[in-house]
Amino acid sequence: MTDTNLGRRAAMAGAAAMLAAGASQAQTAHNVPYSTGTTAARTPAPPNATDCHFHIYDARFPAVPGAPLLPPDATVDNYRALQRRTGTTRGVLIQPSTYGTDNRLHLESMAALGRANFRMVAVVNDQVTDAELRRLNGLGVRGIRFNLVQAGATTLAMLEPLSRRIAPMNWHVQLHMTGTQIGEANDLLLRLPSRIVFDHRMRLPVAERLNSPGFTTGLRLLAKGKTWVKLSGLYMDSQAGAPGYADSVAVAKALFAANPDRMVWGSDWPHPTEALNNKPDDAILFDLLAECVPDQAARNKVLVDNPAELYDFPRARRR
C-alpha cells in the first residue's frame, strides 16, 4: 500500500472518529437543575453564542420583603452545566425582582463567570447616584431593568428620568411588561431617549397577540431602531404549550420579521415563574430558535452579532 493510500485511510479514520465523538456528545446526558430533559441541543451553537437572559439565586443574599418569587438556589456552577447543554459561551445576568436593588449577588456571579464573556442588567431606583452608575458600568453592567409584572423596586414613574440619565452611557432600559401595559404606555415609550429591550416577546396577550395595541407599539419602536426584543420565555402566555409552543413561536417570527437586527435570545433559566415540577426543556427551547429564525446566518446574528452590539461584547473581525 502506498503512502498516499495510507494517508487517505488515516484521514478517513480521523474524520470518522470526529463524527463519532460529535454523536457521542449529542447523546451525553446533561443533568441541569431546573431544566427538564438531559439531551444536548440539536442545533449547533455558533462561536460566542449569547444567552441574553438568565438569573442566579442564592440564599446567602436576602430577598426583599414581599418578593413575589422566591426560587431555590440556582448557582453559577448550575448555569455552567446549562451552557454545556446548549453550547452558549457568552451570557447576560439579569437582576431578578427577588433581590430588589441589591445587585451584589449578580455582580459577584458575573465576576465568577468572567467579565470577558458576561454582562449584567441591574436594578436601581431614582435614588441611585451618578457615581454608582459609573461604578456599575465599570463592572460590566449595560442596562437597568424595570419589572412591572412582578412589581416592587421600580415604578413606571421612574422610567423616563432614569432613561435620560443612562442614555449618555449607551445603556438600555430592560422592560418586563405585559403586552397590555406596553400598549397603555405607548406615548411614554416612544419618547424615551435610551435604548429599550423588551423581555419575553413583549408578553403579548394570548387572545389578541398580533392584533393587540402592545404589538402595534412594539412595531413602532422597532421601526425606530433603538428597541430590541428577547425571543425568550416561549412557555410564558402560551396556550399551545410544550414542546412546540406554536403560538409563542408565531409571535417570535412576526417580531423577527419586523426588525431582524434587533432580536436577541435568552434562556430565562432557572425559569423562576415555573413550578419546580413543570420546568421547560432548555435544549428544546434553544432548538426552537431555529424554528423562529430558520436561516442560519440570520440566527447567528440573533445569537452573536446583535447581542455584541447591545451588550458591548467584542465583535469578530469581518474578512
Catalytic pick among 51, 199, 268, 305: 268
Residue 48 in grid coordinates: 460566542
CA–CA–CA angle 231, 236, 240 (5° rounding): 100
Instruction: For residues 97 and 176, give the distance between their C-alpha atoms in angstroms, rounded to a whole number.
Output: 10
Question: What is this structure's pTM?
Answer: 0.90
Rg (CA), the chain: 21
Instruction: For residues 76 and 57, give the distance between their C-alpha atoms in angstroms, rounded to a whole number.
Output: 9
**33-311 has CATH 3.20.20.140 classification:** yes
Determine phi and psi for 245, rounding to 5 degrees.
45, 50
Return averaged pLDDT per consecutive 10 residues of the chain, 319 residues in all.
42 38 50 96 98 98 95 98 98 98 99 98 98 98 97 94 98 97 97 98 84 95 98 96 96 97 99 97 98 98 99 78
Q: Where does the chain show beta strands of DSSP type E?
A: 50-54, 90-94, 118-122, 141-147, 172-176, 195-198, 227-230, 263-264
Catalytic, 268? Answer: yes
pLDDT at 22 (0 to 100):
41
Residues 266, 232 contacting (CB under 8 angstroms): yes
Residues 247, 240 contacting (CB under 8 angstroms): yes
Residue 59 in grid coordinates: 440564599
pLDDT at 4 (0 to 100):
40
Instruction: For residues 238 and 245, give the distance between their C-alpha atoms in angstroms, rounded to a whole number.
Output: 6
Sorted by where each begins, the domain ranges of the chain are 1-30, 33-311
Q: Which residues contact 281 (CB under 8 A, 6 or more apart)?
A: 35, 36, 37, 242, 243
Residues 97, 67 contacting (CB under 8 angstroms): yes
